[in-house]
Amino acid sequence: MIRIIDYGVGNLFSLRSSLRAIGIDADYTGNPAEIRKADKLILPGVGAFRDAREALRSTGLDRVVQEEAGKGKPLMGICLGMQMLFDRSYEYGEYEGLGLIPGEIVPMEGRIPKDLPIPHIGWNELMLKQPSPLMKNTANGDYVYFVHSYYAETPAEYVIATTDYGVEMTAAVQKDNVSGCQFHPEKSSEVGLSILKAFCEL
């Protein structure tokens, strides 16, 4: 049983629709008991890091996510959900993340060429860095869909894919049972569906 964590800031409908397109019946829930019963968890997210982190904290779901991941349950973060897996973010201040993967979320501004627009919106190719079950159906050079202004800086051992947007940026990560995609697999056509399918098969 797969559950999408509902804490008020995720793109829930399109994610659930994508999972159903590959034959996975995954509902969303903010109920801690339902989250604990799930075999696998997906943490979505859109918007500002501070607001999303506060939404998790105010409901107590931050502790639930940390505890379930600590038990070895597969957890996948998507876009802002991936960013919250890290130690901290510097989006309009400094905010603590869930601390499940070492690293920080930093702004593109000042790090990418000035002629590139921020946010980074659109299709970019993946550069696979190391084998990962999450990318077992994905080829080097496959295109996926991004919408973001910040990205993760994390040790190379956790980076399973990057993308080039003036600089090489983290696109997907994995540390043991915790994984994440900066891009939106639910908006990335067949490539994205193949990544969701790979997660569901963990």
> Distance (Å, rounded) from C-alpha 113 to C-alpha 7?
35
Take residue 178 and report the two structure tokens written for it.
């915790």
| 62: Cβ contacts below 8 Å, ≥ 6 apart | 53, 56, 98
Determine the angle formed by the axes of helices 189-200 and 12-21, rounding to 10 degrees.
Answer: 80
Active-site pick, 68, 91, 186, 200: 186
- Helices within the chain (DSSP H only): 12-21, 32-37, 49-59, 61-70, 80-83, 189-200
Identify any residues that bridge with 159 across adjacent strands, giving them in sequence order.
173
Active-site pick, 91, 120, 181, 184: 184
Active-site pick, 79, 91, 148, 200: 79
> Distance (Å, rounded) from C-alpha 67 to C-alpha 74?
12
Tell me whether residue 157 is one of the annotated catalytic residues: no
Tell me whether residue 181 is one of the annotated catalytic residues: no
Tell me whether residue 184 is one of the annotated catalytic residues: yes
Which residues are known catalytic residues?
79, 184, 186
